Amino acid sequence: MEEKKSNLIVTIKKWHTVSSWTWGAGDDNCGICQMPLDGCAPECQFPGDDCPIVWGKCGHKFHLVCINTWIQRNINEPTCPMCREPWEFRDD
Amino acid sequence: MSLREKRLMSELKSLTQKTPDLIKIVKTENLMTWLIEITGAEKTLYEDETYTLQFRFDTEYPLKPPEVVFLQESPVHPHIYSNGHICLDILDESWTPALTVESVLLSLISMMSSCKKKERPPDDSSYVRAWKKNKFSPKKTKWFFHDNKV
């Protein structure tokens, strides 16, 4: 018996795509503002590129704006708010 | 919303939802001034004694520590003055913005719990006499932290 092949012709009128993103920082909150790291610090308007997060060499992570306000207070000897080790940005 | 307001709202929410034992939030009508009661832990010199603390958060919170004092009667303790001022490093030079109202309260309860003898700091009367002249904030005091045993 001959196999019948039918070609269904469809026209896609529109589609919806969904994607999600994360900084890869888990569900942690920022130790300075206490907002989620994947969320947005009080000084920022939008999560994401507007409010990036940074890691210190000690392994602790914060919103960039939050750690910057803290570092500016202690510009000579900045320390990590979590472990009090000298604060140094981790080079990625 | 400022960093201070947002932080305080988030701290208040989590502290109200899950208040640790020995702690009672009394009044926070004004987000910048909180009154909190703490009760001495069981089997310590302060068991069942309740004291009221006032927390004030200035515009630099949480980059600077809150001002924390005991109101009315303060516990008799080698690091607590009779005017309610507290000599505790995390309320001064050892503050970091990762500390919270809750961690300050737990430190105070722990500081009281490890006390072996109820007595005032050796310089209590001269400190309080100086303070009575212009009622300065404890944040204006230059503290020396010399004893971490109690």
Pairing of β B50-56 and β A61-63: unpaired
With cut-offs at 50, 70 and 90, classify the pLDDT of residue B150: low
Residue bearing tokens 């069981």: B42
Please report whether residue A33 resides in a domain: yes
Q: How far from the centroid of its chain's Cα atoms is residue A24's Cα?
A: 7
- C-alpha–C-alpha distance, residues B17 and B43, integer Å: 27
pTM, entire model = 0.85
What SS3 state is found at B68? strand
Domain with A47, as residue range(s), is 28-92
Position B139 scores a pLDDT of 86
Please report whether residue A20 resides in a domain: no
- Please say if the pLDDT value at position B91 is more than 70: yes
Which residues, other chains included, contact A33 with Cβ-Cβ below 8 Å and sequence gap of 6+? Answer: A41, A42, A63, A66, B3, B6, B7
Q: CA Rg, chain B, in Å?
A: 15
- Cβ proximity of B120 and B78 under 8 Å: yes
Residues in chain B with CB shorter than 8 Å from the CB of A69 are 3, 63
CATH code, A69: 3.30.40.10
How many structural domains is chain A composed of? 1
Question: Are the beta carbons of B98 and A82 separated by less than 8 Å?
Answer: yes
User: Residues B52-83: pLDDT tens digits?
Assistant: 999 999 999 999 999 999 998 999 999 999 99
Please report whether residue A16 resides in a domain: no
- B115 part of the active site: no
Q: What are chain B's domains?
A: 3-121 (3.10.110.10)
- Please say if the pLDDT value at position B124 is more than 80: yes
Position A22 scores a pLDDT of 87
Q: Mean per-residue pLDDT for B125-146? A: 86
Kindly report the nearest CA distance between residue A41 and chain B, in angstroms: 8
Q: How far from the centroid of its chain's Cα atoms is residue A74's Cα?
A: 25
Q: Which of A41, A43, A70 sits opposite B63 (nearest CB)?
A: A70
Question: Are the beta carbons of B96 and A82 separated by less than 8 Å?
Answer: yes
Residues of chain A with pLDDT under 50: none
